[in-house]
Structure 1
Amino acid sequence: MSELTKMQFPEGYQCQYKEKVMKLANMIGRKKADAVPGGEGSYQWDDPEYVCLEAGISDEMAEVALCLGSFEKKTVPQVAEMMGKSAEYCREVLMDLAVYGACKVGTLNGEDVFWTETWIPGHMEMIVNNAENIKKYPVVAYAMEAYGRVRGGGSVGSFPVGVGLMRVIPIQSAIDGSSRKADYEEISKYVEENTIFCVSDCSCRTDREVMGEGCGHLKEDMCIQMGTAAEYYIRTGRARQITKDEVYEILQRAEENGLMHEIPNADGPGKTHAICNCCGCGCLSIRTATMFKNVDMIRSNYVAKIDPEKCTACGQCVENCPVNALKLGQKLCSSTPIVEDITSTSTPRDEEWPEEKWNVEYRVNRENVVDSGTSPCKTKCPAHIGVQGYVKLASQGKYQEALELIKKENPFPAVCGRICNRSCEQACTRGELDNPVAIDDIKKFIAEQELDPAKRVIPKKRHDYHDKKIAIIGAGPAGLSCAYYLALDGYTITVFEKEKRLGGMLTLGIPAFRLEKDVVEAEIEFIKEMGVEFRTGIEVGKDVTLDQLRQDGYDAFYAAIGAQGGRKLGIDGEDAEGVLTGIEFLKGINSGNCLDLTGRTVVIGGGNVAVDVARAAVRCNSDSVSMHCLEGRDIMPASEEEILEAEEEGIQLCNGWGPKRILTENGHVTAVEFKKCLSVFDEKHRFAPQYDEEDCVVVPADQVIITVGQSIQWGNLLDGSDAERNPNQTIKADGFTYQSGEPDLFTGGDCYTGPKFAIDAITAGKQAAISIHRYVHPGQSLVYGRDRRQYKELDKKAAILEDYDHTPRQKPDHAKGDRLHSFRDYRGTLTEEQVQRETSRCLGCGVTKVDEYMCLGCGQCTTKCKFDAIHLERVYDAEGVEFTQMPPVVLKHVKKRMERIAQKKREEPQKEGTRES
């Protein structure tokens, strides 16, 4: 027996050998009546079926339970007669058994009856759903988790479609209007047939939580019981009674949050006693499909089908598929092979399925993209926004829906529409033909509606976790992004910002001619309207410490202080009057302290910030501005667009020169001596500049602005914590979860990566929000069931692009004015007519592919698609059977499967021979 097929136990657990409890386990499991406990034909002492009973049942209790038999309803008098004991004693023990979960209790003809059922769906869930059991006997959670894992391999391929113990029921909106649907495929049928309902915690997610392996989908109020099951759950304190309207509210909330519906499938055709709202990363039933590829055991009669003409590869269906049956691929034709069909050809239907074929790591190895890649724009965007999707929505005039799609990943579309580094455009396939699609300009147009408070739509909160308090330290793009996504989940959020103004470097570090501050303020106002509290002028570590915040009830922290300090060069003269850092200069301007730079200004640096500084210097009345950097013109870090704008404004670019010293007179700068840079990087592309010390030039200067990087200023924030820093002062943290060495402190943005772009910080903020959500709830893993968002772009060079719209790239008109003497942003926005022209230029590179074998037919994908591109199609006609009628059905199916396996084995040598010949 491998470790995979063994029961795991919590640390310190000791097995007790209770013979009558073992007999009870054998009876429930329908073992032979004369099976010797622990011997052949019996469960073993470390089997989950025995362990889940042993924890809370004595031999005396088991003796009473043994009188019930299997699936036989007995009254108290009947049991008392069999036991030869008083009815009072038997009633008390039977109720104890029912409360524990080892039997059920209900009423028949006005009299209490007790009976035993299956393990799952049945006693194991009932035992785990008793909150007191979990507190007293956490081993029962381990037992339920182990049941499907230990027994799952033996059931692979054994159940025909529709006959498994659990069954997926499609989200009803996904099959409404289907001419072939049957009433047992509609979730409303089961609700309308009942009058009494209750809701309990999800037993699967309870298991995961107890084991510390939760997936972030929480357990509370997830499982709905109906009819006699509801009566039992309510009577034994497992659940709270709810109304029919509340049932529908829970189902809708589950669907909105990416969950799917399952029902216990052993009550008989078209019958059930419960509705589960499940996730593929936590549910032990869906594990049957994801780990063992035993999809037929739980699938619905439906399979998802894609209309490639409508699909935009936005990725929403892929990210929400519970079993990773959907992946992004390529729509364009190609001269090299591409993945067209991902439907599994190797399945348990006609193959033996040993352990080496199991997907044991299914909770961490999801794949979003087929091997041959997908849309370059989505791939290269750090946030992996569904670019192709929002471009298509904009082409249809659905601007609000386009905005919603963008904000799945980026809550600052108006900001990014102005300052993004446009990695999506740099990767755009259209750029291989003429010019990339003007993605950022389209986004800027879409985001304009959010700047108008009258058009602003505050999103519905996904959850309500207001009792959990989170502190965000830093109100830059990373901190604001984290605040947005945590607010969306209903947390109580406070953002602490040491400056008087919010926005971090968006406000203080970027000049208004690139990003006017009313745009930043408008998008921050949106976050305020979501209930986030902002406290400015407070430096955490100085005015208040992390420990003090913990005492105030904060459950977790997000440190996103950015890199708001300038860096010096370490050369002679840089402390002279007239020398300042670029960050210092820009902060002064954005704080309203615009310097008069009359005379000659030398800017040292070649990145985007250096360009911003140089252009700002022009607007501060400098007579001349020159930029000096190590890199050649072709490898300057600044974007081409910004370099061209600088040149248009008369800024002189001096490439290939590094500062040697700053010359001074009477303590004031007079000039800078530069030396020729021969190379910037070594053979491994590490920064290692080489100079010709003899080839020097002296450049006169009245002021020098050093813009060669930024520094991180932690102050006392991390004092007394276990968080560590790297030599460059970035904080050490896990690259996936963003958790630092101090467990409740998460981080992201420039203080983690060093200076990068706003979209990188925004991305980090969202991912940290996911981690913080998991951290503040007990038993949740920071990694299980989490999308690693690994994307791969298609081969653009091989794409066949013969028939496409030849419309040239649209450019917005700029406002007229003297831009050299104003900090106003004169850049315009595309008109609606231009947006329609520009969106027509998109080649629609990507498309979603479906593994039709792996698809459960849950319909979750259809609820996320904004393009009517994915539908459920009924391809099976299977209905469930009652548990006691399953054995002959299963045996018949197993026999046919064995025949198929044998036939396939006989055919394989012939195929091999054909290939050899």
Structure 2
Amino acid sequence: MAEQRELILKLGQKITDRIGHTVTVDDPEYWGLAGVVTDEMAEVALSMKVRVPATAEEISKKCGKSLERTEELLKEMSVIGLIEYNWENAKHEKQYILPMFVPGCAEFMVMNTKQVEEHPEIADFFEQMARLPLEKVTPMVPPGGAGIGMHVIPVEKAIPTEQKSASVEHISHWLKKYQDKYAVGQCSCRTQQRVRGEGTGDIEGELCIGVGDMADYLVETNRGRYITYDEVMEILERAEKNGYVHQITNIDGQNKIFAICNCAVGVCNALRTSQLFNTPNMSRSAYRASVNPQDCVACGRCVEVCPAGAAKLGQKLCTKDGGKIEYPKHELPDNTKWGPEKWDKNYRDNIRINCYDTGTAPCKTACPAHVPVQGYVKMAAQGRYMDALKLIKHENPFPAVCGAICNRRCEDACTRGTIDQSVAIDEIKKFIAEQEINSANRFVPKVENHEGKEFTEKMAIIGAGPSGMSAAYYLREKGYPVTIFEKEQRAGGMLMNGIPSFRLEKSVIEAEIDVLRQMGIEFKFGVEVGKDVTIQQLREQGYKAFYVAIGAQGGRKTGVPGEDAEGVVTGVEFLRKANISEDAHALSGDTVVIGGGNVAIDVSRMALRSGSTKVSQYCLESRDIMPAAADEVEEAEEEGITIGCGWGPKEILTENGKVKAVVFKKCLSVFDEEHRFNPQYDENDTITVECENVILSIGQSIEWGGLLEGSKVELNRNNTAVADAVTLQTGEEDIFVGGDVYTGPRFAIDAIAAGKEASVSMHRFVHKGHSLTLSRDRRQFIELDKDNIKVETFDNAKRQVPGKKSGVSKDTFRDLRSTFTEEQIKTEAARCLGCGASVVDPNKCIGCGLCTVQCEFDAIHLNRELPECSNMWKSEDKMKAVLPYALKRKIKITFSGNKKK
């Protein structure tokens, strides 16, 4: 056991924030200092008064050391972070201050990045000293913080001009006060949590602004650099865009601050007071946010950025009895006994809960990517097509693709469908996307990280399908260099090679892929990872993380006799060849397609266009449970394709090695009582269908090749990869998987959603010390109860139907479906019931104003409801504010308790 150092123990006791606590060697006040503070430094510090400025000459006299030695020690102590500077005095001479731990030396010590890397215990020291002193006192702190810690200052443009406000509530007030004395440095909280392994994806960088004395301190101790007013404004605006909360120091009274921080919710110790302890008085501004439900479209942007979990999605429709949903308000300590049982120890995850238990808009809930449907529908009605496109691309980079092929789960869930017909959501999205495709000016997202720069960590995407390209889009948007490796000679994956042009024109796909190119994403075609290059070789080339999204590019066979005959191919193989060449004479004679899904329908329609005299399709399922979309089945039948339901292949008859016919047997049931795939047949009830071609479209398989050789990635029985359901990380920590290789064959929108989630994980992974799950938005939404809503008025217009281009569909490979006219867009958009809306809990709101910055509909505003929160006290006077409030609170609690008795 190390020898107890009395001077360090005394120093820890002197500057502790814990009232009435006796410091021991087991406390952070001791071991946090012991590793970096020498006894000689402690002697100097002990000669100083806490938070009282003194010159080197004055300190020299008190500590009994020479001026020269005192100045040397003061410089070392400043670099370490034990003391800070002050120039604000009549003579404008350099003075030194011994601060308390927080705000003070604990965070200054962490801001010395090299030091905290060498002494990681300092990170724990800061974490504990930012928490322990507050555990008992926090509930007794009045609005405004009473000179304890930090204080939220709202986004200035969010402060309503018609409302009276105090100068201290405006960032511009403080910037003008300190004129050109600004510096920027690293955020101590971000560093602390990263070193502790609890980073939440909010990366360190030049984010926190020192003003006045602190600016000089940051520069002279190599913690930061001087910046201009314009640079300050750029940092503040970028912080708002990234969802960082502005906070100012709150320990020097009304007339002085030393920092403006841009705080990340998952790591900030100051914001933790309103989240862990559930005591927002400690940090909230004078403002609260409120939503105008009539203008809100439940896009969820305010929910995503809310640092206190105050904004959540709910509904705006009344219940059947005519009542409005009553949303719970968070309990506050104002007149209630408060202790650890009231804390929210899982606050970092709980603030990421998106939705109230009573639910929200079904369209957003049902969409795998949770695209803000109500939002873009309203923007389309207003003619704001580019704004609508940006809103969609926040969740889905390929709206034109999805407008053509999406399986429309949003429409299936649409509340309007309980009245007559659901809103034609997909057609509206298709119209919006087409405006960009036909425009010379495309929406290309700005590529930059949280510092306005680019990251250097190279990301590798394996597979240029919708999932891989989605991951690439969002990683590049964050500022990463991204390369997509694709074994084919073009991007698009199954979008290009598996979906016929009459459903999705190749020009549409190319237009949206071109945006990725403009963003700077690199494509390497004709490169099969595992064959032409290995993942290990890519690691050696500097790639830090990998997203494997190669899709299910192989076809499956039935296992019946004769399927190896000439003339039998899988649907995947057939579509790939047909999409590459679109040869109208690729087939001759009659064709039988086996399968009942959407891909099988595509195969049948493509076979007809490829020269087949007649196309017949057979599937196990009855018509009512056939997996293909009803409208696609109807389109196939309109083209003359016959569909036989309830039949499974028994044998493929051949003659001279070529297909002659298919024998089908009657399928009695497809699933067993537990709904597992277990078809039962009547072997004696058969039909024989003559044909020259058989195309098997009964499913897809994953072809890994040598991609995973030498890795720790495990596979399931169905050949999909084993990965974490939230992070998509495999047994090989730098390999992530998504799309069909993880879920099995699904739809493009599922793959797109997985790509975005993978980008979140990869971003966190490449910055060591960041948790892949902590404070992560789990994207869990709940559908409102459509059986308990009252819709009193609504637009009576019928669902709009898009027109068709001239031509006979079965004779062309082109897509003859038209989009809505602008008049139809307005009519259809008006049919939306607007059933979802955001709701703000006023007891949790801290008045930062970030929600107002993100809202595109002017639906959420700040109101100055708590002017007392603008009071700023000196730290040494805090008890003058705390004691009267604590007494009033105690009386309230006693009175409330007696009343209950």
TM-score category (smaller protein): over 0.9
Partner of 1:9: none
1:207 equivalent in alignment to 2:192: yes
1:257 equivalent in alignment to 2:251: no
Separation of aligned partners in 2, 1:903 and 1:156: 21
- Segment drifting more, 836-845 vs 447-456: 447-456
Q: Aligned with 2:773: secondary structure?
A: coil
Separation of aligned partners in 1, 2:186 and 2:323: 44
Superposition pairs of residues 646-725 of structure 1, within 5 angstroms: 646-725=636-715
Separation of aligned partners in 2, 1:334 and 1:344: 20
Which of the residues 433, 437, 440 maps onto 2:426? 440
Q: Using the TM superposition, give the Cα deviation of residue 593 of structure 1 relative to its aligned residue in structure 2, in angstroms.
A: 5.6
Q: Aligned with 1:591: secondary structure?
A: helix
Q: Using the TM superposition, give the Cα deviation of residue 784 of structure 1 relative to its aligned residue in structure 2, in angstroms.
A: 1.1
**Deviation digits for residues 426-477 of structure 1, max 9, x if unmatched?**
0001111111100000001100122135121322224133411111111000
Q: Using the TM superposition, give the Cα deviation of residue 649 of structure 1 relative to its aligned residue in structure 2, in angstroms.
A: 1.2
Q: Using the TM superposition, give the Cα deviation of residue 363 of structure 1 relative to its aligned residue in structure 2, in angstroms.
A: 1.5
Which of the residues 873, 876, 885 maps onto 1:884? 876
Separation of aligned partners in 2, 1:152 and 1:715: 57
**Deviation digits for residues 359-382 of structure 1, max 9, x if unmatched?**
111122331111111100000000
- When the two structures are superposed, what TM-score results if normalisation uses the length of structure 2? 0.97
Unaligned runs of 5+ residues in structure 2 are none
**Deviation digits for residues 374-405 of structure 1, max 9, x if unmatched?**
10000000000110111011111111111110
Counterpart amino acid of residue 860 in structure 2: I
Q: Using the TM superposition, give the Cα deviation of residue 596 of structure 1 relative to its aligned residue in structure 2, in angstroms.
A: 3.3
1:384 equivalent in alignment to 2:370: yes
**Deviation digits for residues 813-851 of structure 1, max 9, x if unmatched?**
101112111110000000001000000000000011110
Partner of 2:566: 577
- Segment drifting more, 624-633 vs 508-517: 624-633
Partner of 1:20: 7
Partner of 1:904: 896
Which of the residues 723, 733, 757 maps onto 1:733? 723
Q: Aligned with 1:149: secondary structure?
A: coil
Partner of 1:327: 312
Separation of aligned partners in 1, 2:255 and 2:404: 56
Separation of aligned partners in 1, 2:30 and 2:162: 45
Counterpart amino acid of residue 776 in structure 1: V
Separation of aligned partners in 1, 2:314 and 2:2: 51
**Deviation digits for residues 701-748 of structure 1, max 9, x if unmatched?**
211100000011111011111111112111111111111111111111
Separation of aligned partners in 2, 1:770 and 1:31: 38
Structure-2 change in CA distance of 1:15 and 1:228 (3 Å): farther
Separation of aligned partners in 1, 2:834 and 2:268: 35
Number of residue-to-residue matches in the alignment? 889
Which of the residues 605, 614, 619 maps onto 1:615? 605
* 1:313 and 1:388 in contact (8 A); partners too: yes
Q: Using the TM superposition, give the Cα deviation of residue 341 of structure 1 relative to its aligned residue in structure 2, in angstroms.
A: 4.0
Partner of 2:149: 165
Separation of aligned partners in 1, 2:2 and 2:140: 32
Q: Aligned with 1:384: secondary structure?
A: coil
Q: Aligned with 2:237: secondary structure?
A: helix
Counterpart amino acid of residue 746 in structure 1: F
Which of the residues 524, 533, 541 maps onto 1:544? 533
* 1:167 and 1:263 in contact (8 A); partners too: yes
Partner of 1:3: none
Structure-2 change in CA distance of 1:94 and 1:808 (3 Å): same
Q: Using the TM superposition, give the Cα deviation of residue 642 of structure 1 relative to its aligned residue in structure 2, in angstroms.
A: 0.7
Structure-2 change in CA distance of 1:843 and 1:499 (3 Å): same
Separation of aligned partners in 1, 2:802 and 2:582: 31
Which of the residues 67, 79, 85 maps onto 2:47? 67
Q: Aligned with 1:192: secondary structure?
A: helix
Separation of aligned partners in 2, 1:526 and 1:337: 48
Which of the residues 841, 851, 861 maps onto 1:851? 841
Partner of 1:532: 521
Separation of aligned partners in 1, 2:132 and 2:627: 56
Separation of aligned partners in 1, 2:463 and 2:53: 63
Separation of aligned partners in 1, 2:729 and 2:316: 38
Q: Using the TM superposition, give the Cα deviation of residue 22 of structure 1 relative to its aligned residue in structure 2, in angstroms.
A: 1.4
- When the two structures are superposed, what TM-score results if normalisation uses the length of structure 1? 0.95
Partner of 1:349: 334
Partner of 1:770: 760
Partner of 2:790: 800
* 1:106 and 1:114 in contact (8 A); partners too: yes
* 1:583 and 1:710 in contact (8 A); partners too: yes
Q: Aligned with 1:150: secondary structure?
A: coil
Counterpart amino acid of residue 751 in structure 1: V
Q: Using the TM superposition, give the Cα deviation of residue 100 of structure 1 relative to its aligned residue in structure 2, in angstroms.
A: 1.0
* 1:656 and 1:678 in contact (8 A); partners too: yes
* 1:200 and 1:220 in contact (8 A); partners too: yes
Separation of aligned partners in 1, 2:777 and 2:555: 36
* 2:252 and 2:873 in contact (8 A); partners too: yes
Separation of aligned partners in 2, 1:477 and 1:31: 55
Q: Aligned with 2:763: secondary structure?
A: helix
Q: Aligned with 2:616: secondary structure?
A: strand
* 2:160 and 2:862 in contact (8 A); partners too: no
1:225 equivalent in alignment to 2:210: yes
Q: Using the TM superposition, give the Cα deviation of residue 660 of structure 1 relative to its aligned residue in structure 2, in angstroms.
A: 1.2
Partner of 2:348: 363
Which of the residues 93, 99, 104 maps onto 2:84? 104
Counterpart amino acid of residue 354 in structure 1: G
Q: RMSD between aligned alpha carbons?
A: 1.6
Q: Percent identity?
A: 50
Partner of 1:913: none
Structure-2 change in CA distance of 1:426 and 1:16 (3 Å): farther
Q: Aligned with 2:688: secondary structure?
A: strand
Which of the residues 510, 518, 522 maps onto 2:511? 522
Counterpart amino acid of residue 457 in structure 2: K
Q: Aligned with 1:724: secondary structure?
A: coil
Partner of 1:828: 818
Separation of aligned partners in 2, 1:523 and 1:841: 29
**Deviation digits for residues 466-493 of structure 1, max 9, x if unmatched?**
4111111110000110111111111111
Structure-2 change in CA distance of 1:168 and 1:770 (3 Å): same
Unaligned runs of 5+ residues in structure 1 are 1-13, 33-39, 910-917
Structure-2 change in CA distance of 1:438 and 1:41 (3 Å): closer
Q: Using the TM superposition, give the Cα deviation of residue 16 of structure 1 relative to its aligned residue in structure 2, in angstroms.
A: 5.9
Partner of 1:470: 459
Q: Aligned with 1:455: secondary structure?
A: coil
* 1:406 and 1:413 in contact (8 A); partners too: yes
Superposition pairs of residues 59-138 of structure 1, within 5 angstroms: 59-107=39-87, 108=89, 109=91, 111-138=93-120
Structure-2 change in CA distance of 1:835 and 1:514 (3 Å): same
